[in-house]
C-alpha cells in the first residue's frame, strides 16, 4: 500500500470542479468530488491500476478515469503516489500543465 499526496494543483482542481458544478447544484458538486476522491483511493492498493497518460508517455505518470475527469498521478516510489491533477477530459493536457 502507498500513501497518496494531493498536490496544490490537484486540490485547486477539486475546488474548481466543486465551485463550477455548485453553481447549479451543491448536491451534485459534492457527489462528483466524492466520486473523484473515492476513485483515487483505488491507487492506494494498486498504483499501476491506471493507464499510462498518452500525452506524457512516462510509465510513472498514470491516470484513472471517473466520468469526464482524469485523475492524473505520478508513482514517486513504492510508498508514495502524488495526485498531480484532476483534469476534465475535454481540455488539452500538456506536460507544462502537470507542474
Please count the structural domains in the chain: 1
Residue 24 lies in a domain: yes
Looking up residue 83, the CATH number of its domain turns out to be 3.30.2310.20
Prediction pTM value? 0.91
72 and 87 in contact (C-beta within 8 Å)? yes
Residue 54 lies in a domain: yes
Domain hosting 21: range is 3-90
pLDDT digits (tens, 9 = 90+) for 27-71: 999 999 999 999 999 999 999 999 999 989 999 999 999 999 999
Where does residue 45 rank: exposed (0-12), middle (13-18), buried (19+ CB within 10 A)? exposed
Residue 97 lies in a domain: no
What integer best gives the mean pLDDT of the chain? Answer: 93
Amino acid at each position: 500500500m502507498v500513501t497518496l499526496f494531493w498536490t496544490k494543483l490537484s486540490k485547486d482542481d477539486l475546488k474548481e470542479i466543486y465551485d463550477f458544478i455548485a453553481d447549479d447544484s451543491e448536491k451534485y458538486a459534492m457527489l462528483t468530488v466524492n466520486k473523484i476522491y473515492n476513485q483515487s483511493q483505488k491507487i492506494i492498493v494498486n498504483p499501476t491500476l491506471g493507464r499510462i497518460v498518452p500525452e506524457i508517455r512516462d510509465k510513472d505518470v498514470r491516470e484513472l478515469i471517473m466520468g469526464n475527469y482524469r485523475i492524473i498521478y505520478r508513482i514517486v516510489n513504492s510508498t508514495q503516489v502524488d495526485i498531480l491533477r484532476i483534469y476534465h477530459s475535454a481540455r488539452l493536457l500538456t506536460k507544462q500543465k502537470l507542474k
